[in-house]
Structure 1
Amino acid sequence: MTHSQQICFVLNGQMARVDPTDTHQTLLQFLRAHPDLTGTKEGCAEGDCGACTIVIGQLDGAEVQYRALNACILLLAQVDGREVITVEGLQDKSGQLHPVQQALVDFHGSQCGFCTPGFVMSLYAHYRNQLPADRQSLKNTLAGNLCRCTGYGPILAAGQAMYGYEAPEQIDTVSLLREIQKQKPLQLDAPGIDPTQTEQLFAPTSEDELQDLMHAHPDAVLWAGGTDTGLWVTKRLSRLPCVILLHKIESLNFMRETPDGYHIGAMTRYSQLTQQITEKWPDFGEVIRRTGSTQIRNAGTLGGNIANGSPIGDMPPILISLGATLVLRKKGSDREIPIEDFFIEYSKQDLRAGEYVQAIKIPNSAAQSQFTSWKISKRFDQDISAVLGAFCLTRDRDKITDVRIAFGGMAAIPKRASACEKALLHTNGDATALAKATKALAEDFTPMADMRASDQYRMQVAQSLLHKALISDSPVYLGKSGGAA
């Protein structure tokens, strides 16, 4: 198969074709090197502050879907075949400001101005998607944009007013995007820091291509949303000899309900999951809402969070509690395992040579149980968990007939609380059973201590969450039976 060595995308309504010289170049670096595109700022280079926010458009049938992303951790190669809109692209041809920009002017939403382009672009994505303009919706959208001048009040007021301005004429980019969809699959070869070494980047469009590439390049880094691997490049300054981008493989991006439960592709983004998950499991949906920022949820994927194997990842404890399984695929075969068996030890997962996480399955039985989950972190929004507890209990009248409890942040891997579960099984979850289960947590975990929390704090939080889960679920504590706490 022949490949393209050129990155092609639509930039502020115009076709852009770039011959890259560095496979690690980020979109932000590309924009900042262009004299007319320096409105997009670098504040943190790790996807936290939002100063680099841009909007990406992706063709979906006859329409373009828009989402805000952080340009600082987005490889330039990831926008191949997409539309990129920066703050410079919002004015119309006559110089008229976009309603978002005019509202920020009218409501004095800019102080020093450094963060302003990022706020503009987050609000612009909100505007393009016609999301509600109430304060809470706007706060959710802007949680990933930081203003050191603390000028949030006027910014929120501008967001509430932006729909009141005359709607602008939007540039139709569908035909341009259709044209570049015909491009050959992307493959970049560029010299590394050592000129005798070549760094490669591939963007396959099918799982067959992915499997062939993994066979040919067994040490390649699989790049999903880039919300973690992007920091390898921008913070560690790592040079990756071979990268395989996964975002163009449509067969990895899906969510469907089957008679057996939910079947979710590994490349399904958090923002694509939120609505359906929230309807089924509200606590799960709330944890997703608090995972990173809007920009991070628009990039990060469920499979990426699992494959990363972090002991403080938010998704694995919840999926363990819900009894989820993983579909691990390599050329010629699939393997399905319980998700708790995937995590072996710190930074080691049960992935065999040539395998990748293809999908996640959540069984229907989980929907029949009482599920609760809580994320504990220093900041409420956009922070990494100190502890995440997930609890799934099934009752027959008062008796607990099945129980699955898992924690993140309590061990070197996301892990079930087996001794705690045993203490609760076949009891009614009364005070005696709860006391035994609380004590059993010390058998299950020897918590780590780090900058986010001490080991004692983590254990105390885990015990408190266990109490909260039992009290919120138990007929004994809710007064639905004759028992007493």
Structure 2
Amino acid sequence: MDTKTIRFIRRGELVALGNVPPDRTLLEVLREDLGATGTKEGCGEGDCGACTVVLGEAIDGRLRYRTVNSCIRLAHSVDGLAVWTVEDLAGADGALHPAQEAMVRCHGSQCGFCTPGFVMSLFGMYQNHVCKGESITRALAQEELSGNLCRCTGYRPILEAAQQMASLPRVTVDEAALVAKLQDLAPSHDERYLAPTTLDALLAARAAHPQAQIVAGCTDVGLWVTKLHRQFAQVLDVTRARELRQVEDYPNHIAIGAAVSLTDAYAALVTQRPVLKTFADRFAGLPVRNAGTLGGNVANGSPIGDSMPLLVALDARLVLMSQGGHRHLALEDFYTGYRKNVLAADELVAWILVPKPRQGEFLRAYKISKRFDDDISAVCLVIRLELEDGHVARIGIGAGGVAATPVRAARTEAFLAGKRWSEDAVRQAIDVLRGEFQPISDMRASSSYRSQVLGNLLQRFWLESQGHEHINLERFALEEASA
């Protein structure tokens, strides 16, 4: 097979690497081929953030910065991008970058293993906020550091470092020069790692190579490489197809391309429904959301993926495409079993169509996990309610963690449809919901716990629909509690 040289910009200079296997991770290339050992391997699954690096992509003549986990990022995916590791931040004279200097001044490092990852997240924050004249609040720092874990510091000094970066002498990237260099890196072809830049080319590659492993962000397939030691002779990357990197606005719905990152997809959903902001922020850590895509999350079909219960409750539909045409179907009809779906060998998920909210819609999305940030759900329940004259006119209930696939609570929806929205109806619906599924017991929760929580969340939804506040941990504010 033809092979290509991976080319990216680091420290303002071109880096070219040849004969890189399609399933080799960026972390392996950085540490073993380039000697960038400041980038650490901690968990090997995108949880701890020790391997965090920053990628820069030229979009419409400007540079977009994204923090990602290099441990589950395939090396070929950075072809044509800029890459920063912790070794790349200090000046030529050895002067520390504000992200590094603030950590020193705030005593943000103890054992130091996690520190490079935190510094890189701070660097990404610096480029995306400080360099644009925006202030970094403690809440913003906590949100954007959610993908970095530390056992030593208690996080307070690191959060303080994030807030102090702006007070240090400004350091800037020569973006114009870097964008010019990136635009000169025309994509090359590799039969082992296919990354078509148009939808037509992507569908043609899918038809010609049905055995190729599809990746759409690689936040799950990356674990197959690092944890299961799976090897792929050929990879088909959907994230370069420009048509699928867009969020399109229509009168009654938005169409989210399958290659749109989770960060951007949830931003679009939050714009339509601001109540989803906390739920969106709790979908993994920022580096995972930056790398993963909504299309990949849907196609992967994990029963504990948080996107699908939300999309089911919102009555989202999928557009599946092949060279022969396209078809639409409800998201819950996409799945046939555990991580199995209806995709034909030449098809791909192309768009997710999400209806816009109707006037009077009441929506809540609940995520129950052992850790508040950067954790996988034990139970996810999303409920969308529309009332007319006090009766249930329309209701959507999506659930995760309670079956082999993401599911719609169809029996509970049918029970409530047309009924007066009352405490008695909800009490009966709780029993219906608990009896609708037979969840398993695993490391995250027991079957009985999941069933109990399902009903409790419907009870919480009822209370919130009646105006009760501060009954949800998401509404808890530490500053208010300590006042």
Give the alignment's TM-score, normalised by structure 1: 0.92
| Cα deviation digits, residues 70-92 of structure 1 (max 9, x gap) | 11111110000000011111112
Residue 350 of structure 1, aligned match among 334, 342, 351:
342
Summarize the Cα distance change of 1:105–1:318 in structure 2 as closer, same or farther, 3 Å threshold.
Answer: same
What secondary structure does 1:327 align onto? strand
Residue 179 (str. 1) matches residue 184 (str. 2): yes
Which segment drifts farther, 206-215 or 120-129? 206-215
Equivalents in 2 of 1:307, 1:142: separation in Å?
A: 27
**Distance in 2 of aligned mates of 1:303 and 1:84:** 25
* 1:419–1:443 CA contact under 8 A, matched in 2: no
- Displacement after TM superposition at 1:332 (Å): 2.6
> Would you say the 8 A contact 1:111–1:151 is kept in 2?
no
**Does structure 1 residue 426 correspond to structure 2 residue 431?**
no
CA distance in structure 2 between the partners assigned to 1:276 and 1:133 by the alignment: 22
Aligned match of 1:82:
81
Aligned counterpart, 2:120: 121
| 1:370 and 2:362 matched | yes
Q: Which residue of 1 aligns with 2:463?
A: 471
Which one-letter code corresponds to 2:187 in the other structure? Q
Question: Superposition pairs for residues 276-425 of structure 1, below 5 Å?
Answer: 276-364=268-356, 369-425=361-417
Task: Give 1:347 shift.
Answer: 2.0
> Which residue matches 2:26?
27
Structure-2 separation of matches of 1:337 and 1:294: 30
- Read off the aligned partner of 1:161 and give its amino acid letter: Q
Q: Which residue of 2 aligns with 1:159?
A: 162
CA distance in 2, matches of 1:280, 1:211: 30
For 1:183 and 1:35, locate their aligned partners in 2 and report how far apart those are by CA, in whole Å: 22
Q: Hey, what's the Cα distance between the residues in 2 that align with 1:284 and 1:104?
A: 32
Q: CA contact under 8 A between 1:386 and 1:452: conserved in structure 2?
A: yes
Structure 1 residue runs without a partner (length 5+): 189-199, 479-485
Task: For 1:83, give the aligned amino acid.
Answer: A
For the residue of structure 2 that corresponds to 1:359, the secondary structure is strand
Instruction: For 1:284 and 1:4, locate their aligned partners in 2 and report how far apart those are by CA, in whole Å.
Output: 44
Question: How far apart are residue 284 of structure 1 and its match?
Answer: 2.9
Report the secondary structure of 1:298's partner residue: helix
Q: Per-residue deviation at 1:183?
A: 3.3
Q: Does 1:133 align with 2:112?
A: no
Give the match's secondary structure for 2:184.
helix
- Structure 2 gaps of 5+ residues are 470-483
Question: What secondary structure sits across from 2:201 in the alignment?
Answer: helix
Matched residues in 2 for 1:20 and 1:167: separation?
A: 39
Aligned to 1:256, the other structure's residue is in SS state strand
Q: Equivalent residue for 1:273?
A: 265
- The answer to whether structure 1 residue 216 and structure 2 residue 208 are counterparts is yes
Whether 2:453 is the aligned partner of 1:461: answer: yes
Contact 1:318 1:390 in 2 (8 A): yes
Greater alpha carbon shift after TM alignment, 221-230 vs 12-21? 12-21
- Secondary structure at 2:57 match in 1: strand
Q: Compute the RMSD of aligned alpha carbons.
A: 1.9
For residues 271-301 of structure 1, give each alpha carbon's deviation from its aligned partner in whole angstroms, at most 9, with x where no partner exists: 1133332232234332221011010010111
Letter paired with 1:32: R
Deviates more, 1:407-416 or 1:203-212: 203-212
CA contact (8 A) 1:322 1:366 kept: no
Q: Which residue is equivalent to 1:191?
A: none
- The answer on whether the counterparts of 2:361 and 2:385 sit within 8 Å (CA) in structure 1 is yes
1:377-398 CA distance string (max 9 Å, x none): 1110011101111111111121
Name the CA shift for 1:459/1:132 in 2 (closer, same or farther; >3 Å). farther
1:148 matched residue in structure 2: 151
1:286-327, Cα deviation, whole Å (9 max, x unpaired): 222101101001011111111001111101111111111000
CA contact (8 A) 1:202 1:244 kept: yes
Deviations 1:230-287 (CA, angstroms, capped at 9, x unpaired) = 0111110001122111221111111122112111111111211333322322343322
- Counterpart in 2 of 1:18? 17
CA 1:367–1:82 in 2, change beyond 3 Å: closer, same or farther?
Answer: farther
Aligned length: 463
Q: Which residue of structure 1 aligns with residue 231 of structure 2?
A: 239
Does the 8 A contact of 1:323 with 1:366 survive in 2?
Answer: no
The change in CA–CA distance for 1:98 and 1:336 in structure 2 (over 3 A counts) is same
User: 1 CA distance for matches of 2:307 and 2:433?
Assistant: 21
Q: In 2 relative to 1, CA 183–410 (structure 1 residues): closer, same or farther, beyond 3 Å?
A: closer
Cα distance in structure 2, aligned partners of 1:442 and 1:255: 36
String of CA shifts for 1:36-79, please: whole Å, max 9, x gaps.
Answer: 52111111111111111110000011211001111111111000
Q: Per the alignment, do residues 183 and 243 of structure 1 end up closer, same or farther by CA in structure 2, a change over 3 Å counting?
A: closer
State, as a whole percentage, how many aligned pairs show the same letter.
40
Distance 1:417 1:60 in 2: 41
- Partner of 1:173, secondary structure, is helix
Map of 2:474 onto structure 1: none
Asked if structure 2 preserves the Cα contact closer than 8 Å seen for 1:429 and 1:474, the reply is no
| 3-state SS in 2 of match to 1:95 | coil
Please tell me whether the aligned partners of residues 283 and 374 of structure 1 are also in contact (alpha carbons under 8 angstroms).
no
